[in-house]
Structure 1
Amino acid sequence: MSFQKLANDILDGVGGKENVNAVWHCATRLRFKLNDVKRADTGKIEKLEGVITVVDSAGQYQVVVGNSVSQVYEALTLLPGMAAHASASNGDIQEKRTGKFNPVSQLMDFVSAVFTPFLGALAGAGILKGILALFTTMNWISPDSGAYKVWSAAGDAIFYFLPIFLAFTAAKKLRVNPFVAVSLAGALIHPTLVEIVSNSQTINFFGIPIVPITYTSSVFPILLAVWGLSYLEPLLNKWFPESVRNMLTPLFSLVIMLPLTLIVIGPIGTKISGLLALALLAIYSFSPLLAGLVLGAFHQSIVIFGVHWALITLMINNVANQGYDQWLPIVCAAVLSQAGAALGVFLKSKDAKIKGLSSSAAITAIFGITEPAIYGVTLKLKRPFYCAMIAGGIGGAIIGSFEVHASTFTFPSLLAIPTYLGQGFIGEVIGLIVAFFGAVILTYFFGVSTKPPGDSIDSDVSNPNEILSPIDGEAVPLNRVNDEVFASEAMGKGAGIIPANGIVKAPVNGTVTSVYKTGHAIGIVSDSGIELLIHIGVNTVKLKGQHFKPLVKENETIKAGDRLVEFDLEQIKAAGYDPTVMVVVTNSYNYDQVIVNLEDTKSKRLLQLIPKEQ
């Protein structure tokens, strides 16, 4: 696969460089801030080889690529005019100007952008700490040995100096001087101040007392401090002449922001983190089993919308404040349940393409990257995702009931298991086994359709915005049919079908609104409000009902698959008429896109409707 070609195709699909406000990436996704989301062709992007799916959530247009995302991102930034948009952060300003500012979306956007650049290092350090914990528990290495002290320092460093890492990435996101921000963070964990706190001493700043607080490993205080710096720095730049700005702006930024942080911002940030920790602890204390059940079942659902970043922040905060986190062991069950579901699909499916995708997705999910499994396999097939939710919920409930703790933060995966050593570890092992193998078994027996290869995706109507094909045959774009009115899409968007037989069936659950006397056309409104016109043949109204037999009446309730009309295909052809069946969404104006399935000819799904944003 050519990363350069894929990057170019993705850029074309999102509307070109002119439509890109900012772009960055996380472990599996290209994250775009688009000027106009409606200009992006989601259907086109999802069909690209190398793209798993597209998610429009939390104010970001996310193209899920998988493990090769960094190579695709690099190729994308090398395209003409894209370097200026890479890791840019003016999306906040743009949204405020256009009146679309969403504080929740902006918070998720900010948190993901701040943590993403060093997630790999954070995960690696956490795994190293877990391995050291395992080695010391098994007496394979002594805590007094030089090797342990060296590796322990390597594992602890990123957590101890976490405010510095956060200061740098937050400054890049908020477009302030990153070195001033890092200096501010370094001051918060300066040995002098750390010693004062460790000795429980109180100092004052011109008579104002400074609360002794430990900022090592903290999250919220430095983020708030850099946020405050993002307002102060532009003011200072405006006040000072250009000739001295490079020296005086950093000088006054440090002189003002450090005392302000120690006196006001730091205590507020610490209070916020403490309240959030107490809120989570209250939920957990009410019922660890219930907390485990809910989080184990639904964690991967919130990953779809990108809201899991808030939980990641709280987990890191818990480790800093409590010395442990009780949620990470539960989330591990949710992660491994997705791996198990993907493995179950691999074992049961007879479709070569799905088997290949599910096998690789299962492996990456075992090591903590679940997006390929979710978007490429389980969510696409639906039932495996539900099986994973059930198994993850049961496994999470077991882990919650044993009150397992994670000694350090690392992303939940098979490699993270040593970090759960200690209280309730046997419950963690049992819960993970149940989550993984439970998902395998449930998916194998209940999660994969037994239909022939090529039709492994259920052809039901559980999605209210999908329209099944009303007749067997070959789907063609509506603009290719031999009827100018339908081809111009003046009546609405849709598709044509070159019929293989003479039986028209209901493509949706709904109600018959009209049956033409000649029997060649029928109107339907689905239960979800989609208005459809099914027109059999071109100019067949001239047959005056000959060769057509309507099987339903107006106002009759129908279910998908019910027979609507029978017609004599061969007689219509012999009479010199084009028998192409047109399926038109007459209220297309209610939808952003009407996507025609022209690729998977064995699928019964004909149209996918994308509703307009409310």
Structure 2
Amino acid sequence: MDYRKSAQEVLDNVGGADNVVSAAHCATRLRLVIADNAKVNKGAIENVDGAKGVFEAQGQLQIIFGTGTVNKVYEEFIALSGVEAATKAEVKEAAAQQQNIFMRAIKVLGDVFVPIIPAIVASGLLLGIMSALNFMASNGFIALDTNNFIYKIADLVSGTSFGILQILIGYSAAKAFDANPYLGAVVGGAFINSSLQSAYTVASEGVQTMVTVIPGVYSFEWVGYQGHVIPIVIACAILAFLEKRLHKVVPEMFDLFVTPLVSVFVTVLVTLVAVGPIFVWAENAILGLIQTLLTLPFGIGSFIVGLFYAPTVVTGIHQMYTAIDLGQLAQYGVTYWLPIASAANIAQGGAALAVAFKTRDAKIKGLALPSALSAFMGITEPAIFGVNLRFFKPFIAGCIGGGCGALVCALTSLAASGTGVTGIFGILLCLAQPVQYAIMFAVAALVSFGVSFVLYKDELKASEQA
């Protein structure tokens, strides 16, 4: 393969170097931010030697070359275009600047919650394992010594991430807003301080203390923010606003102690007294609506969510879904959203797999098969953008399969103990309900495979049409 030639053809068909804002690559894809998308010839790019697919996602033009090839094409592309090499983070930032306000807000939520996922996965997977062990022990399948030191340490670790979730969110949110992340951690910690009544006790004990702000007019509940995530994000936005402005006006000799003190104190004060209660109510309302939707009779609501999940991935809205997962985990101890996401991902894999089996085009088969396997592992972008959306009917088949898989989730009350892992390995978050997860997997994959196999047909080439 001539990597330089492929890079030159890509450059020519994206409108030349002047139309490239920035360029980077990941393990398999060349990622470009384009100034004017109207100048891009996707059809020609798809025919570039080595290119296995091209799609737009999150403000980026992404061209699939595959592992080992993409880095060589990227090097030639940088050399030919004269565009300065950028990191994936820099490309994402450049792409974000070209998006509308709503999509930028969605990106911020992603920037806040995505970095926390590994911590939640660690505790969530261990929590799932512990739940499965306790279930087997209580039903006489195994003998479990709960006084064993390994069990005790595992039990300790399994709940840690969820116990300090607000601190993790505070750190990550402050970082996303370009504030001091350690101040963000302090802010998050303040809202779960032991001086406040735990929010988890309100349902059984009621609110124990009301703090008066204006006698006879306004008071607020002296209750912690356990079980809440959005108020912490809003608090860190306030923190960032205050910190940045204080850095500008406070003399340098006083900045080290005045700015952190005032920023943290005012943030916590404003949040507890005024802003927090509003967003606690809003978050509860949103989670309540979502839960109402997911629990509609006969699984109708879950079917609708599963049906339209993949289209939200295409638009980038899915970046906010981690907030839903974390909100449900914080309030209910499990998330009903993640299994539906898993069903949608699996279904797109099934649809792509059908294309791989049915197509006679070696290039499409070479792209569809690994894309399907990737989707079964929980990474859907290659399947959605490289295969299913390209031919559209497989994408529709994937949506139908996702809806059917989500229907199974509703009918079996399938829930996950954590977030961040879908597809085959998602079962590790559902060890309390492995059979239900397996049924969901089978339904989502088989329905999407069957519908896609029936609907998909290879496009006739110009020579065949003649």
TM-score normalised to structure 2 length: 0.78
Separation (CA, whole Å) in 2 of partners of 1:3 and 1:241: 55
Amino acid paired to 1:135: L
Residue 134 of structure 2 corresponds to 136
Cα RMSD after superposing both structures: 4.3
Separation (CA, whole Å) in 1 of partners of 2:237 and 2:128: 33
Deviation at 1:26, TM superposition (A): 9.8
Residue 189 of structure 1 corresponds to 192
On the 8 A contact 1:289/1:397 being kept in 2, the answer is yes
Deviation at 1:355, TM superposition (A): 2.7
Deviation at 1:304, TM superposition (A): 1.1
Amino acid paired to 1:235: R
Amino acid paired to 2:394: P
Amino acid paired to 1:437: L
Residue 431 of structure 1 corresponds to 440
Deviation at 1:185, TM superposition (A): 1.6
On the 8 A contact 1:55/1:62 being kept in 2, the answer is yes
Matches within 5 A, 1:354-369: 354-369=364-379
Q: Unpaired segments of 5 or more residues in structure 2?
A: none
Separation (CA, whole Å) in 2 of partners of 1:118 and 1:314: 13
Deviation at 1:186, TM superposition (A): 2.4
Residue 111 of structure 1 corresponds to 109
Deviation at 1:397, TM superposition (A): 2.0
Separation (CA, whole Å) in 2 of partners of 1:84 and 1:367: 22
Give the match's secondary structure for 1:189. coil
Deviation at 1:146, TM superposition (A): 2.7
Match of 2:282 among 267, 272, 278: 272
On the 8 A contact 2:193/2:224 being kept in 1, the answer is no
Match of 1:243 among 249, 253, 261: 253
- Judging changes above 3 Å, is the alpha-carbon distance between structure 1 residues 228 and 39 closer, same or farther for their aligned structure 2 residues? farther
Number of matched pairs: 442
Structure number with higher relative contact order (C-alpha < 8 Å, ≥ 6 residues apart) = 2
Q: Which has the higher helix share?
A: 2
Give the match's secondary structure for 1:324. coil
Match of 2:171 among 168, 171, 176: 168
Deviation at 1:317, TM superposition (A): 0.9
Give the match's secondary structure for 1:63. strand
- Judging changes above 3 Å, is the alpha-carbon distance between structure 1 residues 134 and 356 closer, same or farther for their aligned structure 2 residues? farther
Residue 417 of structure 2 corresponds to 407
Separation (CA, whole Å) in 2 of partners of 1:116 and 1:7: 32
Q: Unpaired segments of 5 or more residues in structure 1?
A: 96-100, 450-455, 460-467, 473-601, 605-614
Residue 54 of structure 2 corresponds to 53
Separation (CA, whole Å) in 2 of partners of 1:155 and 1:228: 32
Separation (CA, whole Å) in 2 of partners of 1:32 and 1:275: 39
Separation (CA, whole Å) in 2 of partners of 1:354 and 1:18: 29
Separation (CA, whole Å) in 1 of partners of 2:100 and 2:159: 36
Match of 1:300 among 298, 310, 325: 310
Separation (CA, whole Å) in 1 of partners of 2:65 and 2:160: 29
Q: Given the alignment of the two structures, is residue 441 of structure 1 paired with residue 431 of structure 2, yes or no?
A: no
On the 8 A contact 1:344/1:443 being kept in 2, the answer is yes
- Judging changes above 3 Å, is the alpha-carbon distance between structure 1 residues 249 and 67 closer, same or farther for their aligned structure 2 residues? farther
On the 8 A contact 2:128/2:432 being kept in 1, the answer is no
Match of 1:202 among 209, 212, 230: 209
On the 8 A contact 2:50/2:65 being kept in 1, the answer is no
Give the match's secondary structure for 1:86. helix
Q: Given the alignment of the two structures, is residue 255 of structure 1 paired with residue 265 of structure 2, yes or no?
A: yes
Give the match's secondary structure for 1:333. helix
- Judging changes above 3 Å, is the alpha-carbon distance between structure 1 residues 3 and 305 closer, same or farther for their aligned structure 2 residues? farther
Separation (CA, whole Å) in 1 of partners of 2:374 and 2:335: 24
Tell me which structure has the larger Cα radius of gyration: 1
On the 8 A contact 2:127/2:155 being kept in 1, the answer is yes
Match of 1:180 among 183, 195, 220: 183
Deviation at 1:223, TM superposition (A): 0.7
Separation (CA, whole Å) in 2 of partners of 1:2 and 1:114: 41
Amino acid paired to 1:221: P
Deviations 1:264-323 (A, max 9, x none): 232222212101011112223433521122222221122111112233322321221122
Identity %: 26
Separation (CA, whole Å) in 2 of partners of 1:317 and 1:156: 15
Separation (CA, whole Å) in 1 of partners of 2:67 and 2:212: 51
On the 8 A contact 1:89/1:173 being kept in 2, the answer is no
On the 8 A contact 1:42/1:54 being kept in 2, the answer is no
Give the match's secondary structure for 1:138. helix
On the 8 A contact 2:334/2:416 being kept in 1, the answer is yes
Separation (CA, whole Å) in 2 of partners of 1:410 and 1:393: 20
Deviations 1:554-580 (A, max 9, x none): xxxxxxxxxxxxxxxxxxxxxxxxxxx
- Judging changes above 3 Å, is the alpha-carbon distance between structure 1 residues 83 and 397 closer, same or farther for their aligned structure 2 residues? closer
TM-score normalised to structure 1 length: 0.61
Deviation at 1:121, TM superposition (A): 4.5
Separation (CA, whole Å) in 2 of partners of 1:4 and 1:116: 35
